[in-house]
Amino acid sequence: MISANAVMNGSYDHGEVARSVVIAITASYAALDLAGRVTAARGRVRLAWLGGGAIAMGIGIWEMHFKGMLAFHLPVPVEYHWPTVLASFLVALLASAVALYVSSREKMGPAEALTGSVIMGAGIVGMHYTGMAAMRLPAVTRFSPLLVTCSILLAILFSLLALLMAFDLREETRWSVPRRLGSATLMGAAVSAMHYAGMAAADFIPASPPDLSYAVTITPYANSGVVIATLFLLVAALATSSVDRRARVEVSEQMRQAQEDLARVTRVVAMGELAAAIAHEINQPLTAIVTNGNFSLRRLESGTPNANDLRAAITEIVNDGTRASAVISRIRGLLMKGAPIRTEVDINQIIQDVTNLLRIELSRNRVSLSTELASDLPRVPGDPVQLQQVLINLVMNASEALRTSTDGGREILIRSAKNPDGVLVQVQDSGPGVDPELGDRIFEPFFTTKANGVGMGLSISYSIIESHGGRLRIVPTSTGALFEFTLPTDGAAAS
Ligand code: ADP
């Protein structure tokens, strides 16, 4: 039996303890920051961030523990079995990879958070006790079961805390840096508490000299060298992360600008195509106003004006004036420069609006427009004005194609239907159709087969649908041309 007196008295170098806590906080900050990068990335880049992040975070956590062990001084020389030290580092790496993976996923339910924290906690405990097993000193280690249990529970608790914080901080906000700093301090304190509880769980009882094969002494130089290398690595990881974040932000400002410009160009082009229809729409009420005005004047000049006739004529003047002003407001709405909007759109409503807008122009071309609209459509996120423009482009193209057809009816059919991830809209005409040899070239900017065509309508429509997360395509059909586009219910993410 070993007497309690035989336990070696160890002491802590407080400076080293403080430095280990600083490393823990820095590693935690890097971990929280890198979790955000893993979340933001996709495909191979995501894998690269996960790998790089796990290495930086693994080294950080491992170095904190190792530093904590070096902060503990025993009255006997201590060497370290380097293969075991390496094994403890690999365990830290694995725990970090699990932590980054779990906290960067799209969803983290209670089950995932708990499983993740048990795996991560087990990894940290494994790293800590493997690290202690690497110690070579003329003593045997005796563990207090109560304190070991405490350190395990603390590790799991700390992991849960870390995962929740990292998950919560993944999205970039104005408060990201101060919040990350606060969370990192808490996490760093928790890692340190776990480590020092684990150290307190161990007593060293003098024994015969150990087997020193593969053991190395950690000199003060090596100790400081590892700290500097770790901090350098963490700072490099943070700097790379910051550059990546800035680049992403910049690309997404530029993209928004390009989209806004595109939306504006679309409106202007749609305006050009609509010019004739609008002139007609305004001209009609104006002619009616002049006719009714002249009629009223003649009645007044006749000396015996009929009040009922005058009331009817003036009422028509007011109605026609209101109609003309509604047309003007619609044109202003189309021309206004504005950021792309995402609202919950009822696509059937958009189809009806466009049908109403183009009714007169189509009837002038003797084109009959019919609709087959599904009643159970989900709403989809989208910009109503942009979607109107796409439909106007497709219908105007169909109408133009029908102008050349002399035989058979001039018909346009707009259909809406539900599809697995949102809605499907089709515009079909009974015209000559698109030459299959042209293929997808019709979607290229400035491609036109018309003498006075611009060749931008389909290309802009394609971009608009793409920015909504959907697809615009031409479908082979036996009669005329059939264009269709999809709009997903989760299309907001794509914009
Ligand atoms: P534009 O109408 O100015 O030519 P678009 O990009 O809208 O530009 O259309 C590109 C080309 O696609 C048209 O010139 C035409 O050849 C073809 N196209 C588009 N819609 C139809 C249609 N409904 N029927 C036949 N051809 C069409």
What tens digit of pLDDT does each residue of 308-317 get? 989 999 998 9
401 Cα to the center of ligand 1, angstroms: 8
Q: Does position 45 have pLDDT exceeding 90, yes or no?
A: no
Q: What is the model's pLDDT at position 331?
A: 63
Q: Are strands 411-419 and 472-475 parallel, antiparallel or unpaired?
A: unpaired
Q: Which of 358, 309, 357, 307 is nearest to 329 (CA)?
A: 357
Residue 166 near ligand 1, beta carbon < 6 Å: no
481 Cα to the center of ligand 1, angstroms: 10
Instruction: Give, using CA atoms, the residue closest to atom 16 of ligand 1.
Output: 449
Run of H or E including 381? strand 380-382
> pLDDT-based confidence at 227, cuts 50/70/90?
confident
If you ran DSSP here, which 8-state letter would residue 490 be given?
A: T
What's the rounded mean pLDDT across residues 229-234? Answer: 84
Instruction: Give, using CA atoms, the residue closest to atom 20 of ligand 1.
Output: 397
Q: What is the model's pLDDT at position 1?
A: 42
Q: Which residue has the higher pLDDT, 463 or 494?
A: 463
Residues 234 and 227 sit within 8 Å (Cβ to Cβ): no
Residue 449 near ligand 1, beta carbon < 6 Å: yes
475 Cα to the center of ligand 1, angstroms: 14
Residues 37 and 50 sit within 8 Å (Cβ to Cβ): no
If you ran DSSP here, which 8-state letter would residue 136 be given?
A: E
Could you give the 3-state DSSP secondary structure of residue 227? Answer: helix
Helix count and strand count (H, E) for the chain: 11, 14
The tokens of 158 are what? 């700390």
Q: Which residues of 387-399 are buried (b: 16+ CB within 10 A; e: fewer)?
A: bbbbbbbbbbbbb
Residue 270 near ligand 1, beta carbon < 6 Å: no
Q: Are strands 215-216 and 79-81 parallel, antiparallel or unpaired?
A: antiparallel
* Dist CA 110 CA 373 (whole Å): 43
397 Cα to the center of ligand 1, angstroms: 6
350 Cα to the center of ligand 1, angstroms: 22
Residues 408 and 367 sit within 8 Å (Cβ to Cβ): no
Q: Does position 194 have pLDDT exceeding 50, yes or no?
A: yes
Q: What is the model's pLDDT at position 401?
A: 92
Residues 321 and 287 sit within 8 Å (Cβ to Cβ): no
Residues 396 and 378 sit within 8 Å (Cβ to Cβ): no
132 Cα to the center of ligand 1, angstroms: 74
For the chain, give every residue range classified as CATH 3.30.565.10. Answer: 341-493
Give percent helix, percent strand, percent coil of the chain, each to the nearest 5.
65, 10, 20
What's the rounded mean pLDDT across residues 165-194? Answer: 79
Residue type, 127: M
368 Cα to the center of ligand 1, angstroms: 19
Q: What is the model's pLDDT at position 344?
A: 93
What's the rounded mean pLDDT across residues 256-266? Answer: 65
For the chain, give every residue range classified as CATH 1.10.287. Answer: 274-337
Q: How far is CA 160 from the centre of its chain?
A: 25
Domain 274-337 bears CATH identifier 1.10.287: yes
Q: Does position 444 have pLDDT exceeding 70, yes or no?
A: yes
448 Cα to the center of ligand 1, angstroms: 6
Residue 426 near ligand 1, beta carbon < 6 Å: no
Residue 91 near ligand 1, beta carbon < 6 Å: no
Mean of the per-residue pLDDT values for the chain? 84
Q: How far is CA 451 from the centre of its chain?
A: 43
342 Cα to the center of ligand 1, angstroms: 28
Q: Does position 208 have pLDDT exceeding 90, yes or no?
A: no
CATH topology for the 341-493 domain: Heat Shock Protein 90 (3.30.565)
Q: Does position 495 have pLDDT exceeding 60, yes or no?
A: no
Residue 447 near ligand 1, beta carbon < 6 Å: yes
474 Cα to the center of ligand 1, angstroms: 11
485 Cα to the center of ligand 1, angstroms: 16
In the chain, what percentage of residues exceed pLDDT 90? 26
Residue 460 near ligand 1, beta carbon < 6 Å: no
Closest ligand 1 atom to 438 CA: 16
Which residues, other chains included, contact 221 with Cβ-Cβ below 8 Å and sequence gap of 6+?
A: none
Residue 459 near ligand 1, beta carbon < 6 Å: yes
Instruction: Give, using CA atoms, the residue closest to atom 21 of ligand 1.
Output: 397
Residue 53 near ligand 1, beta carbon < 6 Å: no
Q: Does position 395 have pLDDT exceeding 90, yes or no?
A: yes
* Dist CA 152 CA 143 (whole Å): 13
Q: What is the model's pLDDT at position 164?
A: 83
> pLDDT-based confidence at 274, cuts 50/70/90?
low
* Residues 368, 373, 379: CA angle, nearest 5 degrees: 135
If you ran DSSP here, which 8-state letter would residue 171 be given?
A: S
Which of 274, 390, 397 most suits a substitution to test ligand 1, by most atoms within 8 Å of the C-beta? 397
* Dist CA 26 CA 64 (whole Å): 10
Q: What is the model's pLDDT at position 349?
A: 94
Residues 282 and 328 sit within 8 Å (Cβ to Cβ): yes
Which of 435, 442, 456, 485 most suits a substitution to test ligand 1, by most atoms within 8 Å of the C-beta? 442
Instruction: Give, using CA atoms, the residue closest to atom 27 of ligand 1.
Output: 434
* Residues 435, 436, 441: CA angle, nearest 5 degrees: 85
Residue 442 near ligand 1, beta carbon < 6 Å: yes
* Residues 370, 376, 379: CA angle, nearest 5 degrees: 95
Instruction: Give, using CA atoms, the residue closest to atom 12 of ligand 1.
Output: 442
Sign, CA dihedral 113-114-116-120, equals positive
Residues 62-121 pLDDT 10s: 888 888 888 899 899 899 999 999 999 899 888 888 888 887 776 778 888 888 888 888
Q: Which residue has the higher pLDDT, 430 or 4?
A: 430
Q: Is 4 exposed, middle or buried (0-12, 13-18, 19+ CB in 10 A)?
A: exposed
Instruction: Give, using CA atoms, the residue closest to atom 26 of ligand 1.
Output: 434
